[in-house]
A and B are shown apart, each in its own frame.
Chain A
Amino acid sequence: MKRTFNSTFKNPIVGGLATFAILLFSTQYIAFQKYLINENEQKKEINIQVSIIKEKLQSLVKFSYSATKSLAYIVERNGIPSDFDDIAIELLDRSKYFDVVELVDANGFITHVYPLKDNEVIGFNILNSIEASSGALATIKKKDFFIAGPVNLKQGGIGMISRQPIFIDGKFAGFSAVVTKMSTFFNDLNIDPSNDNRFNYQLSRVNLETGKEEFFLKNNMASLKEYAVPIEMDYGEWKLYVVPREIPFNTAIWFSVFGVVISILASWIVWYFIGQSERLNELINSKLIEQESQLKLIHESSKEKIRKSEMLYRSLTSNAPVLIFNTNEAGECTYVNVEWFNYTGMSFEEAMGYGWHNALHPQDKERVLHEWQTAVLTKADFKSEFRFKGKNEKVTYLSAKAIRLVDVDKSIYGYIGIASDITDRVNQEKELLIYKNNLEKLVDLRTEELNESKEALLNLLEDLNTQSIKLEKETIKAQSADLMKSAFLATMSHELRTPMNSIIGFTGILLKEFAGPLNDEQKKQLLMVKNSGQHLLGLINDILDISKIEAGKLNVSKAPFNYLSTLENTIEFLSPQANKKGLQIIAEFSETKITLNSDERRVEQVVLNLISNAIKFSNQGKIIVKVDVNKNVLTTQIIDNGIGISKEDQNKLFMPFIQLESGLKRSHEGTGLGLAICKSLVEKLGGKIQVTSEIGKGSNFAFTLPL
């Protein structure tokens, strides 16, 4: 039931409608109450008006009574006064609503009127007037004060006439009368500032003879019967109408409208949010269903996996050629495989729990049990070697190992163990032990013999040790000397070059003759200085290079450049030197342009060195500079027809500080460093350099560089 209720309320339309109904009912009820309160207040106000007017009317009646009584009294005592007008003025002063004062004789004729103006009624017989007569007759009949009206006044308008009968000597002698025009009275009410002009008025009186309601004012308020209030006054049945000029708007209506709007809004919100939560619920439900089905899939596939792995495990354990067992966390056996039965001859039931220990060899039983229980208690892995004694009395040596089975929450839920047959190994070890014992005896014998020769050997070793220490010291000395040499040479070369700059520079400047003209002899000598300087600088640079190479500090920086133009420049530079010796340098290039990514200065240095050598060691013929490209390898050959190099010398050629003809005849200047530098540079740039030569026929220096 509860569910039905809940779901009914969760229906957005029902929820919305219910909210609408509840809110609408309550707001409208409140609005209605408010309406009644407003209404009541208005009625109260009208009642106040009514009672004010009633009071005023009553006082008007009293005044009329006293005024007419006074006049009647004068007439009764002194007869018709001669100074009627003065008396009338005095009477009119008593109330501002008195319009006219009259005297009527016993026959109904009006004898005196004040004021006369607009009141040409003297001689008019009031008893003949239908309207006036009934009131007048009543007065005569009752012989008492009576109010007549509403009466259409002669002077215009509707009035109320108060009449007092006059009796002289007990005999009816006429009326004294005061006429009050009621419109004046009500106009005055409206002028009253406290009244705000908020109301219209009407006064009526029921004609006693006709029973008809007659009105004192000429307005249409008479039709608004609902505003008529009967007022208690003498001389007839009076009704007062107090009609609000503007029927005030009852603000409760606004409240009602507001209530409707609120109800609609609130019910819409309820409808929307219930709908929203329903939609959300639906979404969640569909997601849940989706997930559930996915989970089911996963569950099923994992179940399948588990089943397969179980099968694998079962077939593995039952067919394994080792003993496999499984225990719970208390160390009680829960499973053993087929092989286990083969070894022990026990049945499955016999092995379960702690039954397995009956399979242990009696000598091992206590130890192994202790080991096993210790492992279980300390939650450690188990490892042991022991013997099984089967039911057929067969003893086997086993090596067993059991590892803890750990759950996801890291608690141990059992052990799985394997035991393998090591009987063969144990037997072999036993045999080996016997062997070993024999051997030891033999060894002891031999050791004695050896000890004797050992001493002799020790002496020899000591000698050797001293020798090797000596050698080591010398090697270190030599190595540091080498390093020191390189450092010294590098520093020296640098220091040497600074003055060389001055020598070469100033010689050059002098030769430019800025300071004045030189004679031929001076020029010749200065040129010699300049050439020597340049030669010396070349030597220094060579020494610097080789010392850097030996210290491993030679660096190259690669950048692309036009190789052939570098080569041509070098050839051009060296041509004068060659021509001087009658030699010709010929370029044989296979390509028209070769862009080489290498260290231009260093490559130039190599080429310059090789061609210079060729010039130096040739006295005739041509020097050919040949360039080929093959599979990304650039080969440059410098071929001369010079003196050539012998096979033995070719091996020493690229070693530093070696000039082949050293000592004997120094016909060729140079440090002997050039080729060693070339070799190092070419290798540093990723290439190779080699020479082929024949004494007396010439040489071919070839080097390669990667493109």
Chain B
Amino acid sequence: MKSTVLIIEDNEQNMYMLSYLLQKNNYNVIEAFNGKDGLDLAHKHHPEIILIDIQLPDMDGYEICNKLSHNGLPKSTVIIAVTSYAMGGDKEKAIESGADGYLEKPINPDTFVNQMRSIINEKGK
């Protein structure tokens, strides 16, 4: 049974990269290019994992984290914020907003999936 990942990311190239990487690692991928679509798709498909880019055009990524973590999704859903380097305080803010963990951009294809899995395992405990 493949796990489903919802990626909320506005940059097309980044979306493609994440999507490709995850599909190659045997995940189902749902793509949302803005916050509103992201929220709709999350409620529609109940993905196991949600990756959220913190900088989105229509909505603050923290706001999405907050809405997702409080709004009727299964408790097992893992919410991961994808933050940019050098934005001090981003990680703490992400965790406060309800994210289970964070990953940093630029992503390292060698380690990205493992880092994601370790966040999922951490939550599983």
Contact = CB atoms under 8 A, between A and B. Distances in A.
B59 interface: no
Contacts of A559: 92
A545 B11 CA distance: 24
Given A514-B20, A537-B106, A505 B89 contact: no
Given A555-B89, A557-B92, A506 B84 contact: no
Of the listed residues A497, A511, A545, the one surrounded by the most CB atoms of chain B closer than 10 A to its CB is A497
A545 B109 contact: no
B105 interface: yes
Given A509-B21, A511-B109, A541 B85 contact: yes
A557 B91 CA distance: 10
A77 interface: no
Contacts of A514: 20-21, 24
Interface in B109-125: 109-110
B3 interface: no
Contact of A505 (B14, B24, B84, B92): B14
A283 to B, nearest CB: 65
A506 B110 CA distance: 11
Of the listed residues A497, A501, A537, the one surrounded by the most CB atoms of chain B closer than 10 A to its CB is A501
Given A514-B20, A514-B24, A508 B108 contact: yes
Interface in B89-110: 89, 92, 105-110
Interface string A500-525: 11101110110110100000000000
A544 interface: yes
A502 B20 CA distance: 13
A667 interface: no
- What's the dominant secondary structure at chain A's contact region? helix
Interface in B1-28: 11, 13-14, 17, 20-21, 24
Contacts of A554: 88
B89 A557 contact: yes
Interface string B65-101: 0000000000000000000111011001000000000
Contacts of A555: 88-89
B17 A505 contact: yes
A537 B104 CA distance: 14
A505 B110 contact: no
Given A509-B21, A557-B89, A497 B109 contact: no
The number of chain B residues touching the other chain, given as a range, is 10 to 19
A512 B109 contact: yes
A556 interface: yes
The number of chain A residues touching the other chain, given as a range, is 20 to 34
Nearest to A541: B86
Interface in B21-61: 21, 24
A223 interface: no
A498 interface: yes
A224 B110 CA distance: 135
A506 B106 contact: no
Contacts of B107: 501, 505, 508
A599 B91 CA distance: 12
B88 A504 contact: no
Nearest to B18: A505
A502 B16 CA distance: 10
Contact of A504 (B11, B89, B106): B106
Nearest to B90: A557
B15 to A, nearest CB: 11
A555 B88 CA distance: 6
Of the listed residues B86, B88, B110, the one surrounded by the most CB atoms of chain A closer than 10 A to its CB is B86
Interface in A104-151: none
A597 to B, nearest CB: 14
Contacts of B86: 541, 544-545
B109 A505 contact: yes
A599 B109 CA distance: 26
Interface in A553-575: 554-557, 559
Nearest to B111: A508
Contact of A500 (B24, B106, B110): B106
23 contacts: A497-B84, A501-B105, A501-B107, A502-B13, A504-B108, A505-B106, A506-B13, A506-B17, A508-B107, A508-B108, A508-B110, A509-B17, A512-B109, A514-B20, A514-B21, A537-B106, A544-B86, A545-B86, A555-B88, A555-B89, A556-B88, A557-B92, A599-B88
Given A501-B107, A508-B110, 12 more contacts: A498-B11, A502-B13, A502-B17, A504-B106, A509-B17, A509-B21, A509-B109, A514-B21, A537-B106, A545-B86, A555-B89, A599-B88
**Which are the 7 A-B pairs with shortest beta-carbon distances?**
A508-B109, A501-B106, A514-B24, A502-B13, A555-B88, A505-B17, A509-B109
